[in-house]
A and B are shown apart, each in its own frame.
Chain A
Amino acid sequence: MAELTKPPSAMRQYAILLRVGLASAMQYRADFVMTAVGAICYEAVSLAFVGVIVYAFGSIGGWSLVEVAFVYGIRSMGHALHGILSGQLWTADGVVRRGEFDRYLLRPVNPLIQLLARRFQVTAVGDIVFGAVVLAVTAVAAPISWSLASVVFLIAAVIGSALVESAVMLAIASLTFRLLASSPILSVADTVFVTFGPYPLSVLPRTVAHLLTFVLPLAYAAFFPAAVLLDRTTELFVPTWLAFASPVVGLLLYAAAVLFFHRQMRHYSSPGH
């Protein structure tokens, strides 16, 4: 009889867990709506802030308002997808410290999938709507003559943008197994992504730009792909092919972060009880 029991594929299990996570979130309906609305307001404020800065200075390092807005659009949508995929990483330290991770190790499902699908990230719904609108508007406004190839590149770039951010956050969250705390470091990384994400990094001092390319790989998340699409690759501080490869970099970084998570998982020492 037990032979009949066979766990479904990882994708199917992820879908099951998302269903469960959504049902859990819907238990608090008022919370659901309010958080989504709150997220949109938060994003709108940050967009207004970018607008004010560019308006005040006319342009940033030779990038016009619409061009900066386009960088922002890519980042916005990337960040929203990242929120759907990785929002639960913020709860990793609680999950590990309280021992909820025990049960992830007991089920025939990959523990990372269980962590990521722990609860449906409500704010992500607002972010997605907002991100899609901003991206569509800025992409139309930007001085780009769209072709099939450039649209495909844009989509890949947005997914890559999400993966870059998710990779960084996942790598940091993996430290939880040893440090038992990761949210302060996650906050720092998040602040860097939010603060520098929507700007053309070429205006920054070279050292900082390099740091944001090779240490905290923010450049691949919006600036490089935007430079490619806006045809401003001449002012990049890295070889052009690297800017073109941004989506691939996102994929590779995320794969590396997943491996890192599984290695760090061995250090899990379940809290006593």
Chain B
Amino acid sequence: MSLSVSAVDDLPSDAAQRPLVRAAGLVKEFRRVKRVSGRLGGLRTLFSRDYDVIRAVNDVSFDIHSGELVGYLGPNGAGKSTTIKMLTGILTPTAGAVSVADRDPSRERKANALNIGVVFGQRSQLWWDLPLRESFRAVRDLYGVPTMEGDRRQHELVKLLDMDEFLDAPVRQLSLGQRMRGDIAAAMLYQPRLLYLDEPTVGLDVVAKQRIREFIAHVNAERGTTVVLTTHDLEDVEQLCRRIVLIDHGRVLYDGALTELMARYAPYRDLVVTLASPADVAVNGAEQIGRDGPVVTLRFRSDRVKAPEIIGAVTAAHEVVDLSVAEPRLEAVIGRIYTQRGLPESPA
């Protein structure tokens, strides 16, 4: 008796530990037919068996647990959207396996559809000619959301995303930011456990971006919705993601905490001082990395020396008018990784 009780007790915790999303050795190859040139080139291309193989995703593995908010990052063409399409079941992997809530998305598409919400910033999923309100109704009906429940959720979403004004406008007349909010709301109407957002802030102004970030943070914190976010706006990442998965050329370069990435690859601070009279500054433990008239930028390893020590050394040697300490920007770190097309060997 006590045995069976403990067995039952074990189940939920076991289920909780099992990842919501598991990608194991994912590979996706696209075939691109080689163009045949010359006489009747177009026609011969049509029947050509000659093609290039593009490996857009090359052995990608990761686990995502319920409640996480993960940034999936990488330069253009890295394979982010292709991965997301395999996770959502749009594409079938060439090799490897995906499971979402213990289901294979491309095989159990219908069952999986209820678990996931998907927004592609570049491509709307709403009905172009219908008023937003009608699109919402269609989504609710197709998913079979009970009327009362649907009304409640829609009301809440309209309030959260401030959509009252344009609810009756046809989608084709909406601005990009309005359409994006509509798309996000449509993906949340049936309360999926998992939300994939592929560039949800692309092309939006600062205020619109901020509203969407707040919404993402809200659904993750309040409803426990797991979020996988792809974006080129690192502000999104800094504000939202604790964990990032960084890929390039279809391979995972980094998978871990954002703070860890920064500590590992940018363990420095910049001290910017404005001197009374222009001069080069040389102090122990810091390196001058820039000078613009009287404004000098010094970089020091924050894990080796303390800011006050450097400040002390500078003020002892020069008359300082103004100073500030700057944290390294994620942008700088990611930028270096992208240009080197790999992780830096050592910190800067």
CA distance A28 to B129 in the complex (A): 9
A70-129 interface with B by 8 A CB criterion: 99, 102-103, 105-109
In the complex, whether B109 has a CB less than 8 A from a CB of chain A is yes
Q: Which of B14-22, B115-123, B244-252 contacts the other chain? A: B115-123
Closest to B189 in A: A5
Q: For B56, what are the chain A residues with a Cβ–Cβ distance below 8 Å?
A: 272
B185-221 interface with A by 8 A CB criterion: 190-193
In the complex, whether B97 has a CB less than 8 A from a CB of chain A is no
In the complex, whether B142 has a CB less than 8 A from a CB of chain A is yes
In the complex, whether A188 has a CB less than 8 A from a CB of chain B is no
In the complex, whether A24 has a CB less than 8 A from a CB of chain B is yes
Whether A7 and B144, one on each chain, are in contact in the complex, defined by CB atoms closer than 8 angstroms, is yes
In the complex, which of the residues A1, A7, A28 contacts B142, with contact meaning CB atoms closer than 8 Å? Answer: A7
A10-27 interface with B by 8 A CB criterion: 13, 16-17, 20, 23-24, 27
CA distance A107 to B139 in the complex (A): 9
Q: B44-78 toward A: CB 8 Å interface, digit per residue (1/0)?
A: 00100000000010000000000000000000000
Q: For B143, what are the chain A residues with a Cβ–Cβ distance below 8 Å?
A: 5, 7, 107-108
Known contacts: A27-B129, A108-B113. The answer to whether A266 contacts B92 by CB under 8 A is yes
In the complex, which of the residues A107, A109, A270 contacts B85, with contact meaning CB atoms closer than 8 Å? Answer: A270
Whether A20 and B89, one on each chain, are in contact in the complex, defined by CB atoms closer than 8 angstroms, is no
CA distance A63 to B46 in the complex (A): 43
In the complex, whether A179 has a CB less than 8 A from a CB of chain B is yes
CA distance A273 to B127 in the complex (A): 20
Whether B127 and A20, one on each chain, are in contact in the complex, defined by CB atoms closer than 8 angstroms, is yes
Whether A106 and B191, one on each chain, are in contact in the complex, defined by CB atoms closer than 8 angstroms, is no
Q: For B111, what are the chain A residues with a Cβ–Cβ distance below 8 Å?
A: 108
Closest to A20 in B: B138
Query: How far apart are A17's CB and chain B's nearest CB, in angstroms?
Result: 8
Closest to A16 in B: B141
Whether A24 and B127, one on each chain, are in contact in the complex, defined by CB atoms closer than 8 angstroms, is yes
Q: B127-162 toward A: CB 8 Å interface, digit per residue (1/0)?
A: 111100010001001111110010000000000000
In the complex, whether A8 has a CB less than 8 A from a CB of chain B is yes
Q: For A266, what are the chain B residues with a Cβ–Cβ distance below 8 Å?
A: 92
Whether A105 and B109, one on each chain, are in contact in the complex, defined by CB atoms closer than 8 angstroms, is yes
CA distance A55 to B211 in the complex (A): 72
Known contacts: A7-B144, A27-B129, A27-B170. The answer to whether A273 contacts B149 by CB under 8 A is no
Return the 10 tightest CB-CB contacts between A and B, nearest first.
A108-B113, A24-B129, A103-B125, A273-B122, A27-B129, A108-B110, A7-B144, A6-B144, A16-B141, A20-B138
The chain A residues found within 8 Å of chain B, CB to CB, are: 1-2, 4-8, 13, 16-17, 20, 23-24, 27-28, 99, 102-103, 105-109, 179, 266, 268-270, 272-273
